[in-house]
Chain A
């Protein structure tokens, strides 16, 4: 076989080139700590990484959403708990004043004053805000949902937040649902909604209590106050049952809020787990195995050195040198 200088040098060039290409590649991995530096390094992996990155951005947002919903629901719960205390107090007063034995006009006027206070506190609680948004107004977050006469000015809007992909949860309780025992025109949205359309017409129809009478917190406090002032003992007595209805309605609403919060916490944990899994996945796709890169780099350096060394052997001697 004829071996010419040209092919000798070519071999030298090729082996140095090849070795250097591999070294540059390893160098890049070493510098970026990533083995996936361009999509062509691993096209399928690259698409997966992009997908997971989007997932991560979304999950972070879902977590923020969930925290916000939690704040809302916690505040709603506090407000409802206060309201429930007020109802209990009003009922105590009503019990105390409903029998003629313990009731006289002076005390009735005295406690009527307390009922007025309770009424005002109840309105204030119903108009509770977070930042500049009213908690109980449904979508009408920009104005107090209950006016001084106890009229509800909000609507039945449920503010849905996405707490996981395609999982929505209402973060508010429209006042109508909390203050009325059997609100007309309102719908009792369930806890967690799948899919994105707000409740359909059929769902709006769904929850209608057995009790056809609609009792309102504010009306009832007013009724009690008037009955106290006019000394209408049977009127006072009549409020008892209705206060019971209101109270159990508030308790039911609170338990609804509570279960939403519980659901939220579960979702937040699963989001966290999801993020960790995703991080592991992207890492396995795009992160370089440093131990391997470093050892490969060392190996490649040896290869490079030996290529240089053998090259010097290969191109050095010519016949000319021996003819001197």
Chain B
């Protein structure tokens, strides 16, 4: 073995040191890149030469065999699932908090107070059934209550419209990530065919998959070609190698599963029926669908039941009474044809809104002191008319408020647990795949020394060669 070979040995050391320093540099540069896994250079000793005239095997230096990506697929999967749950809870939290805000009257006015006032005004009227001033005040209180019913209905409806626009945005993003994974599948495959290991593409694809799972419940399995094949739970394949299905949204009529009129339906090119609105579970989109079709729909339905119940009960008693002008059979609220959207259509009858004299307080004609109708109407407050005779109107409304509160607080506590798990998983992942700057700095120094020493080897070999050459002179 000759001295030039020793120079080569030094050279391999310098190259390996350079690759290591470059990789550390790459790691440092990507310290804060989302989804990045640190990389490590794997070296091995170069094939040794047989020593001249001896059996000794003499080393010929080192070679960089590959650059590994340090990650744990199991943790990645856990992080994905946890991320999906977290996104689900966070999305729900936003929507529930909005809904809760609408019903929050802890600080002052709200429907509870206005309904109480409404019935109380009839109590006042019963004290002085012939008073013009009190009649006006009954009408004002009723108008305020009606306005608040309308306001609540509208605000909850607005929240729902807002949810639809979020669904639309999420579906677009979801499609984008599905497309990204599909493209990455092809890119990864083309690199792998050439024998390469596309570490950074792996990271990118893992990240895209993680983002994708934030939107709904999906599962991934790797096929023999290294493709990520993704299934949507309940629907079937979403990404299969280089092809992917896409979602779209459109407005459609109400359906039996709680989807409100004119709300968005989600369609997929990959589903026989086309419509997958009620198949999608989990993640952000699942959260929105759940909130829209269940939580908020229930709230609206109960609000409508309440409005309809109040209007119906008041009207049926009011119509039996006699107004100040002696008319009977007068409706107090504009009669509602159906319970559906009652809170939206609730308003005072034309008679009552045109004159407060059309409020009936008396049960018999020509009796200004007769307050029996006013008393009966105020008594509606304590009648258990709803929930199959178990709830008064007050109970019923209060239970809407507390149910929204329960949903919000339960969601929040689950969210904080999930958040803790997320932190924990993040730490575990970081422990394995995260870049430690100190570690990389130490590595760089280590390889700088290796580089120096390898150069020294060349220098020494050069000097030895010089000595040999000098022998001739």
Q: Which residues of A contact B (CB under 8 A)?
A: 1-7, 10, 14, 32, 34, 36-44, 46-47, 49-51, 53-54, 57-58, 61-62, 64-65, 68, 133, 137-142, 155, 157, 159-162, 165-166, 168, 172, 196, 198, 286, 318-320, 323
- State the CA gap A165–B436 with chains docked (Å): 71
What are 20 pairs between A and B in contact, CB < 8 Å? Answer: A2-B431, A2-B434, A5-B438, A6-B435, A7-B426, A34-B106, A39-B405, A40-B97, A46-B405, A50-B398, A54-B116, A58-B381, A138-B367, A141-B130, A159-B370, A162-B379, A198-B363, A318-B438, A318-B441, A320-B441
- State the CA gap A1–B434 with chains docked (Å): 12
Tell me if A319 and B442 are in contact (CB < 8 A).
yes
Q: Which of A14, A65, A319 has its CB near the most chain B CB atoms (within 10 A)?
A: A319
Chain B, range 99-125, C-beta contacts under 8 Å to A: 100-101, 103-107, 112-113, 115-117, 119-120, 123-124
At the interface, yes or no: B206 with Cβ under 8 Å from chain A?
Answer: no
**When A and B form their complex, what is the total count of cross-chain residue pairs whose Cβ atoms lie within 8 Å?**
188
At the interface, yes or no: B39 with Cβ under 8 Å from chain A?
Answer: no
Chain B window 425-446, contacts with chain A (Cβ cutoff 8 Å), 1 for yes, 0 for no:
0110011101111110110010
Which of B103, B369, B439 is within 8 Å of A141, CB to CB? B369
Tell me if B401 and A46 are in contact (CB < 8 A).
yes
Among B11-19, B280-288, B406-414, the stretch that binds chain A is: B406-414
Q: A38-B100, A172-B369 are in contact. List 8 more A-B contacts (CB 8 A).
A: A39-B404, A40-B409, A46-B401, A47-B405, A133-B369, A162-B123, A162-B126, A323-B441
Known: A10-B427, A14-B423, A319-B438. A51 touches B394 (CB 8 A): yes
Q: Which 6 A-B pairs have the closest CB atoms?
A: A39-B405, A43-B405, A141-B369, A139-B367, A4-B434, A40-B408
Chain A residue nearest to B439 in the complex (CB):
A2
Which of A2, A34, A47, A142 is within 8 Å of B402, CB to CB? A47
Chain B residue contacts of A36, Cβ below 8 A: 106
Chain A residue contacts of B96, Cβ below 8 A: 40
Interface size grouping (class) on chain B: 35 or more
Tell me if B367 and A37 are in contact (CB < 8 A).
no
Tell me if A37 and B107 are in contact (CB < 8 A).
yes
Tell me if A39 and B104 are in contact (CB < 8 A).
yes
Known: A43-B406, A46-B106, A54-B394. A6 touches B127 (CB 8 A): no
Chain A residue contacts of B32, Cβ below 8 A: 6
Tell me if A46 and B427 are in contact (CB < 8 A).
no
- State the CA gap A318–B395 with chains docked (Å): 62
Tell me if A2 and B116 are in contact (CB < 8 A).
no
Known: A133-B130, A155-B367. A196 touches B401 (CB 8 A): no
Tell me if A7 and B430 are in contact (CB < 8 A).
yes
Q: Which residues of B contact A (CB under 8 A)?
A: 31-32, 96-97, 100-101, 103-107, 112-113, 115-117, 119-120, 123-124, 126-128, 130, 362-364, 366-372, 375-376, 378-379, 381-382, 394-395, 397-399, 401-406, 408-409, 412, 423, 426-427, 430-432, 434-439, 441-442, 445
